[in-house]
Structure 1
Amino acid sequence: MSALYNNGTPEVRPEEEIVAEREGNGYILRGVKGRIGQISYTMADADTWIIDHTSVDGEYRGRGLARQLLNFVVEDAREKGRKIIPSCSYALQQFQADPSLSDVWAEGDASRYSDSYSSNGVESR
């Protein structure tokens, strides 16, 4: 990412190292500013996880970091044979748009787990 000097010429910044770490039921991203992103889930039952929150600091958006966080949870779910209910609006959008996530998308009445403030409800497939 580059910024502009006052005279309009671009300032080149070196790429920042961003590290992903597992934290509780989810993952966080750390950069030079500390925590810059996170995804979390809760358990609906022994076989189903509810992704309830995904966020990336505004300065770091547009780099695919939220999708990387989602991919960590999806891979964990696949490895453990779990299903996912995408309750947060970002996760729901990704599940609706990407057929490669269908193997972990929980069928049934997902609306009872949705966060109406962030996702406007979760539709069942």
Structure 2
Amino acid sequence: MEIAQEETNAKGRYTATLDGHTGEMTYSRSSPRLVIVDHTFVPDALRGRGVGQALALYAVEEARKGGWKIIPLCPFMRAQTTRHAEWRDVIEG
């Protein structure tokens, strides 16, 4: 699975491509130290294959590298943060 990042101004997204299908996680930068994850989409063809989880983990790893915190407004990301106590260092709130 290939994960890429696109960012323009204060908006961005992580994309995961597998077998010709792409899932995405979108975010907004509210400040240099705070990112709001607001949406995750995984097409039906990729459901159950760990794509959403891979995107969430990628966002966490990027936050750690960049020194920022994540506000998980997206229901999927919020659910993942409750399942992964080891991510608390980068989760705001």
TM-score range normalised by the length of the shorter chain: 0.7 to 0.9
Greater strand fraction, Structure 1 or Structure 2: 2
Instruction: Note the aligned Cα RMSD (angstroms).
Output: 1.4
Say which structure, 1 or 2, has more relative contact order (CA 8 Å, 6+ apart): 2
Runs of 5+ in structure 1 lacking a partner?
Answer: 1-17, 108-125
Q: Residue 63 of structure 2 is aligned with which of 57, 73, 77? A: 77
What does residue range 4-83 of structure 1 map to in structure 2 within 5 Å? 18-24=1-7, 25-33=12-20, 35-83=21-69
Runs of 5+ in structure 2 lacking a partner?
Answer: none
Q: Secondary structure at the match of 1:102?
A: helix
Counterpart Cα distance in 2 of 1:81 and 1:23 = 18
Greater helix fraction, Structure 1 or Structure 2: 2
Shift of 1:32: 4.2
Question: Larger Cα Rg: Structure 1 or Structure 2?
Answer: 1
Q: Secondary structure at the match of 1:69?
A: helix
- The 1:64/1:32 distance shift into structure 2, 3 A limit, reads closer
Residues matched between the structures, number: 89
TM-score, scaled relative to structure 2: 0.85
